[in-house]
Structure 1
Amino acid sequence: MVLDLNALKEWGDVIRSSFRIVLVWALAWLALAMIRKLLRALKAHIVSRAGEMHDSMHDSVHDLRRVETLMNVFRYAANIVLVGIAVMLTLGTIGISITPILATAGVAGIAVGFGAQSLVKDFFTGLFLLIENQISEGDIIEAAGKSGYVERVTLRHVRIRDYDGSVHFIPNSMITTVTNRSRGYAYAVIDINVRRQEDLDHIFTLMHGISDDMRNNPAIGVDILEDLDIGGVEKVEDASIALRCRIKVRPGKQWRIRREFLRRMKAALDTAEQVKSAA
């Protein structure tokens, strides 16, 4: 009879422990499901607000990418924390003391921390880069001495591809200054050298005419936001004069507009030279 009572007690303890373990993991699963649902609702709210605030599709897509990246980071962190708590509670339920484990983890954490300071700095820097909206996928940036198109942004690194196709992986801890050329608008800054004998008023007239033709061109006119802004004479040398102007364009289009303007300016100067020679 005593053996039967002891066996029943042991079975009762096993059942209670099993019930507690199932309850812990069920609560953890429920908490994760609620967090995922909350994050989805928060994402939908942020995206809808962003759509109301921004008129252009480019800005809406930009905000959607940023929100998606942040949501993935928060979801990953929540999974790590809740699973870790569930594992510790499970170990405590089955009779394994977690105090030595926590002490060992603390000592190991200190040792690893000294060797992984750059990794921790990468994560914190990457988090602030995302929260402050300094970099997003699809931007054209310059950071850590490299420039190019942003293909991927993580908490660990930023991956960019430059003009010749080379891919650069930049750890976030190395990024101290970010030059983003894809926000709102850009200027195609153009320098033109002409002979000192040239009539500057005539040159300025040619420049305005080229700008007007480009704005009226359906292929490239959509990328130009304002008329040509002529800064004037930038430099005077013995045989030439440097003129500077700029055109306000959509972000990322400044290089294309600059090259097209220079091509057309070269053709216009050649034509003017031929007319002078014929006269």
Structure 2
Amino acid sequence: MVPPRLRGVEDRGGPTLAAVTALLIALLLLAVPYAAVGAQESGSANERQAPSREQVDDLVRVLDNKAQREQFLERLQSLSLAEDSLDANEPAVLSEALHLDQKVGRWLERYIGTLEGFGLQRSTLGRVALVAAAMLVVSGIVLLNNWAARVFNRKLAGPRARYHLDAGRFSSLFAVQVWAGLALAAMVFVYTLSQVYFDTLGRWLPADLLVEFAETALAVLLVLLLFATIWELCNAIMEYLGGRKGRGGNARMQTLLPLVRNGLMCVLVLFAGMVLLSEVGINVVPLLAGAGVLGIAIGFGAQTLVKDFLTGFTIIAEDLVHIGDVVTVGGRTGEVMRLTIRKIELRALDGTVHTVPFSEISVVDNLTKDYSYYMLNVGIAYREDTDAVVDCLLEVDRALREDRGFSHLILEPLEVLGVDRFGDSAVVIKARSKTRPHDKWTVGREFNRRMKYAFDERNIEIPFPHQTLYIGEDKHGRPQAAARALLDGA
């Protein structure tokens, strides 16, 4: 649509002030892309050339014609939209998104205005007094910030205990608060020195450089605070959920918690590093591409490591072992002390710590999954009554279950499976006692102790290997006389 003032120009057919203004605006709009193209092709601003006379005449003819002018304006609008879309596709950094440059600049202007209001920088003594006063104020603010961080950290001791959180949970936030206070105080003090002693330090510490540095430092501190908050909140949620579970759920949380923490730490460090590199002006897209290629190369070269990861993920995802379980893996038996995505650490009964990579594990024997059985292989002499022995075993089990020290460890009465086999010198009766997962050895040792006393009271023989010496007989069936050396025990 043509404005009213341009309609008069179109009717008269002669140039007016409005037409000249439109011509100048069009020339300026054309000069921007011409200048950009010339800078990209030549690499030097001295090689740029102004539009020729013919180009200007063509532009005037375009503006005089209504249809051509509207078409020209549509092209300019499409060009502007294309430039806006290119700007939108550029990665934005945190400082630009939060307009930190404007906020930092306004704050420093107010700060310098306050310093100039005292009028002390006009003399040498006044400058020293101004710097000393600024240093005193900044030190007071730092001390107040440190005190507030300690107070808030102590105030969280009650909620940490109430919600079963770690004693140091959210401490990293207060550490960031302390370091942020120190960093900002140092920057403010340096900026004060540069402004008070501008004639000496101005060329070494220009205000624009200090403002840009403060903007970047503030963005870095915000990034650290953001990712520290995410880290602490995720850990607090996991610890709270783990505290509400029972023993089995708590063991599951203790198993998964270190793995989730390690994964979360890697993700947060990766993203924080990318954001920080973007803040300092480094393009992270080539770095990500290089990291992908490097990861593929490492994957091909470290197949055993990849196998460790995949096998470990399967074992952990299928809930085969927990922290605290007694397992047999890779020919080693012990209590699970630590699980990572690559290996499992076992502590044997003698204290030896076995580290078994997941790639060497084909079978997992969990001795304490949900519950346990203590197996009894009771050997008695061939002359003993097996039914009487079974009754004796049941009496021992009944007395053990009635004992307050062991009743809570035994889940079911003794299960006698019967006569299992006939050995060289004993009849073996097999039985088993169902106990809590980690208490079968305690119950089994006490059962053996009481069984020995019960067998002694009933004169039930627990056999041991015997050797019968046969001397032989003569042709008439009479035993032969043994040699004297043999009788003497030679």
How big is each residue's C-alpha offset from its partner over 1:181-223, in whole Å with a ceiling of 9 and x where there is no partner? 2233211110112223321221111111111222233333332
Please give the alpha-carbon distance, in whole angstroms, between the structure 2 residues aligned to 1:129 and 1:148.
Answer: 17
Asked if the contact 2:220–2:279 (Cα under 8 Å) also holds between the matched residues in 1, the reply is no
* Residue of structure 2 aligned with 1:104, choices 278, 290, 295: 290
Alpha-carbon spacing, 1:76–1:261, altered in 2? closer, same or farther (3 Å): closer
Equivalent runs, 1:177-216 vs 2, <5 Å? 177-216=363-402
* Residue of structure 1 aligned with 2:306, choices 120, 130, 139: 120
Alpha-carbon spacing, 1:75–1:203, altered in 2? closer, same or farther (3 Å): closer
> Which structure dedicates a bigger proportion of its chain to strand?
1
What TM-score comes out, normalization by structure 1 length?
A: 0.75
Asked if the contact 1:24–1:86 (Cα under 8 Å) also holds between the matched residues in 2, the reply is no
Give the deviation of 1:22 after TM superposition: 4.5
Please give the alpha-carbon distance, in whole angstroms, between the structure 1 residues aligned to 2:237 and 2:259.
Answer: 16
Bigger mean CA offset, 98-107 vs 198-207: 98-107
How big is each residue's C-alpha offset from its partner over 1:133-190, in whole Å with a ceiling of 9 and x where there is no partner? 3222222111111111222222332211222332211112322322222233211110
Alpha-carbon spacing, 1:21–1:77, altered in 2? closer, same or farther (3 Å): farther
**Identical positions, percent:** 32
Alpha-carbon spacing, 1:25–1:131, altered in 2? closer, same or farther (3 Å): farther
In structure 2, list runs of 5 or more residues that go unmatched: 1-206, 462-490
Please give the alpha-carbon distance, in whole angstroms, between the structure 2 residues aligned to 1:13 and 1:200.
Answer: 96
Q: Please name the residue that 1:230 is paired with.
A: 416
Q: Please name the residue that 2:226 is paired with.
A: 30
Letter in 2 for 1:176: S
Q: Please name the residue that 1:248 is paired with.
A: 434
Q: Please name the residue that 2:358 is paired with.
A: 172
Equivalent runs, 1:121-140 vs 2, <5 Å? 121-140=307-326
Structure scoring higher RCO (CA < 8 A, sep ≥ 6) equals 1
Please give the alpha-carbon distance, in whole angstroms, between the structure 2 residues aligned to 1:190 and 1:209.
Answer: 15
SS of 1:184's partner is coil
Asked if the contact 1:21–1:90 (Cα under 8 Å) also holds between the matched residues in 2, the reply is no
Please give the alpha-carbon distance, in whole angstroms, between the structure 2 residues aligned to 1:91 and 1:15.
Answer: 19
* Residue of structure 1 aligned with 2:335, choices 149, 157, 162: 149
Give the deviation of 1:89 after TM superposition: 4.2
Give the deviation of 1:246 after TM superposition: 1.1
Equivalent runs, 1:32-111 vs 2, <5 Å? 32-45=228-241, 47-48=243-244, 50=245, 54=246, 59=247, 62-92=248-278, 94-111=280-297
Bigger mean CA offset, 168-177 vs 126-135: 126-135
Please give the alpha-carbon distance, in whole angstroms, between the structure 1 residues aligned to 2:343 and 2:278.
Answer: 38
Larger Rg: 2
Please give the alpha-carbon distance, in whole angstroms, between the structure 2 residues aligned to 1:89 and 1:152.
Answer: 33
Letter in 2 for 1:121: K
Q: How many residues align?
A: 257
Bigger mean CA offset, 119-128 vs 189-198: 119-128
How big is each residue's C-alpha offset from its partner over 1:11-34, in whole Å with a ceiling of 9 and x where there is no partner? 879967974774476246324413
SS of 2:459's partner is helix
Please give the alpha-carbon distance, in whole angstroms, between the structure 2 residues aligned to 1:69 and 1:231.
Answer: 36
Alpha-carbon spacing, 1:230–1:15, altered in 2? closer, same or farther (3 Å): same
Please give the alpha-carbon distance, in whole angstroms, between the structure 2 residues aligned to 1:254 and 1:152.
Answer: 23
Please give the alpha-carbon distance, in whole angstroms, between the structure 2 residues aligned to 1:14 and 1:35.
Answer: 31
Letter in 2 for 1:77: G
Q: Please name the residue that 1:5 is paired with.
A: none
